[in-house]
Amino acid sequence: MNLLSTIEISSQLVTLMAALMLVVQLLMVVQRMLFTNIRLFAIQSLLLAGIATVVAYAHHAGHVYIVAVLTFIGKVLFLPWLLNRLVRRIQIHQEIEPLLNAPASMLVCGGLTLLGYVVARPFTSLERLGNNTLAVAITLLLTGFFLMINRRKAITQVLALLTIENGVMLAAVALTSYGMPLVVELGIFFDVMVAVMVLGILVYRIRESFASMDTSKLNQLKG
């Protein structure tokens, strides 16, 4: 095996990890258990942190390391812990009830992936690190939206929102070759953190008021 240059290896690594993020996302679409879903989200975030580390190493961009560390602490450790605690507290041990069944939603997500690839096609020829990750990022975004629509329970919609955020982060880290300015990254990061905490409280309140987490029941609200 000939020795590849650092850039080439890191480009391959970024592409591989992005593809694995996509695989994890698709697994989340078919997986029904809530705890497994949270664990899958943690794995996806771990891959994102890995991508950030590789990008930081390849471009010698110090502040991207901070992004990687923050992603690791926030999304791999803190948010899954928070969500797990929430799930325990509101005692929903039943499975997620999607609107479409698993094979159908898998096919829809396959179609969305195709759409993501087609949309990203004109931009993939750029000579950048992991230049194909834009397609994966767009796909994560689209399937995230689909997940949000497809699921009734509030907490799974929070998870879907988090995967959308992972997609945005992936695009930001992998495509702009030095990552976004640190201030913007930090802003987005804390935004999401606070959003999830607020949503967690909201989910708890919904559960308290309606004895259910089904967001379609919110239609019954009267002023």
Residue 15 as a binder of other proteins (CB under 8 A): the answer is yes
The amino acid occupying position 190 is F
Q: How far, in whole angstroms, is CA 203 from its chain's centroid?
A: 19
H helices present in 92-181, as ranges? 102-120, 133-150, 154-175
Q: Which is nearer to other proteins, 16 or 182 (CB)?
A: 16
Distance of closest approach, residue 32 Cβ to other proteins, in angstroms: 9
Closer residue to other proteins (CB): 18 or 141: 18
Q: Which one-letter amino acid corresponds to residue 67?
A: V
Among 5, 6, 23, 196, which residue interacts with other proteins (rule: CB under 8 A)?
A: 23
Closest CA to 92 of 27, 163, 156: 156
Site for other proteins in 128-157 (CB under 8 A): 132, 135
Residue with tokens 């190493």: 57
Interface with other proteins: number of residues (CB under 8 A): 29
Binding mask 24-63 for other proteins (x = CB under 8 A): --xx--x---------------------------------
The answer to the question of residue 223 lying near other proteins (CB under 8 A) is no
DSSP string, 161-197: HHHHHHHHHHHHHHHSTT-S-HHHHHHHHHHHHHHHH
- Give the type of residue at 129: L
Within positions 93 to 112, which residues make up the interface with other proteins, using CB under 8 A? 101-103, 106-107, 109-110
Whose Cβ is closer to other proteins: residue 31's or residue 84's? 31
Q: Rounded to an integer, what distance in angstroms lies between the CA atom of residue 137 and that of residue 134?
A: 5
Residue 16, interface with other proteins (CB under 8 A)? yes
CB-wise, 101 or 220, nearer to other proteins? 101
Torsion of CA 25, 31, 94, 42, to 10 degrees: -40
Instruction: State the distance between the two ends of the chain, measured CA to CA, in whole angstroms.
Output: 70
Residues that bind other proteins (CB under 8 A): 1-2, 9, 12-13, 15-16, 18-20, 22-23, 26-27, 30, 101-103, 106-107, 109-110, 113-114, 117, 121, 124, 132, 135
